[in-house]
Structure 1
């Protein structure tokens, strides 16, 4: 009987030690799954182009500088998903048409973007962390001003995104971020120019494809 009690006690102690060891291992493997960043972003549109019906020509879209907020969730230490939020106002012109350059006013773009990311670690201290990402965006056009024409309508559009950047840790919580993204965005536009020429409605296919260059700060939690 004493031997049985001794064996039970021994196995109980082993079980307790095993559970404690597992708890310690899990705690040592814990990492902060969430992070948030605030960036200042330059929105640059060097690759803009358009197919404009009837009057021909091309499009000219202004650059912008905006604040951008993003949230990232880490499934593992390497794989993460990031939701990027920002909105920008752009001035728009039709240029080199048969009627010359035409002011098409301005439009606000809201392109919420979701990317899947892979994060690299360059050392065991994990201070410098580059990453790459790819995903989708859905761009909403709102608060459109028509400029010299009667009206301009932009179709909301689904597009794609590519991303590269790095985080530089300042401590266990705060870091500096540098990021570059390319959005691949096309939209159908309808220009109502009946105030200039009776019955004139001009369709266009516009490729914007902006670059977004950002720098900011972030926090892990």
Structure 2
């Protein structure tokens, strides 16, 4: 949409990485071994809409889907098993253009 439209929908695709720390899984932790995940990396898709409040301020709502398959590690060693992480996130916010 045009910059002066009240509602401006958008779509996007990109790449993301998520680092995990202090992971705990009761079954493996009971043996005293550290349980961890490799860095999750993958594709992210976004859909949303910006709503112009005035020439400077806007509100935004968006939804994002992230897909990754980090390897599960126990005691620092790879297990050959992947954890399926496919979260949806929903966000709302207010911003200013300058």
Q: Shorter-chain-normalised TM-score: which range?
A: 0.7 to 0.9
The Cα of 1:144 is off from its aligned counterpart by 2.6
**Cα distance in structure 2, aligned partners of 1:161 and 1:202:** 25
Provide the alpha-carbon RMSD of the alignment.
2.1
Question: Mind listing any 5+ residue stretches in structure 2 that lack a counterpart?
Answer: none
Question: Mind listing any 5+ residue stretches in structure 1 that lack a counterpart?
Answer: 1-119, 193-200
TM-score by length of 1: 0.38
CA deviation vs aligned residue, 1:19-46 (integer Å, no higher than 9, x gap)? xxxxxxxxxxxxxxxxxxxxxxxxxxxx
1:129 paired to 2:8: yes
Which stretches of structure 1, 4 residues or longer, exceed 4 Å deviation after superposition? none
Count of matched residue positions in the alignment of Structure 1 and Structure 2: 92
Equivalent of 1:213 in 53, 70, 90: 90
The Cα of 1:214 is off from its aligned counterpart by 1.0
The Cα of 1:143 is off from its aligned counterpart by 2.9
Give 2:55's aligned residue. Answer: 172
**Cα distance in structure 2, aligned partners of 1:191 and 1:181:** 30
Give 2:73's aligned residue. Answer: 190
The Cα of 1:175 is off from its aligned counterpart by 1.0
The Cα of 1:146 is off from its aligned counterpart by 4.7
TM-score by length of 2: 0.80
More helix by share: 1
Equivalent residues of 1:141, 1:154 under 8 A apart: yes
Classify the secondary structure of the residue corresponding to 2:86: coil
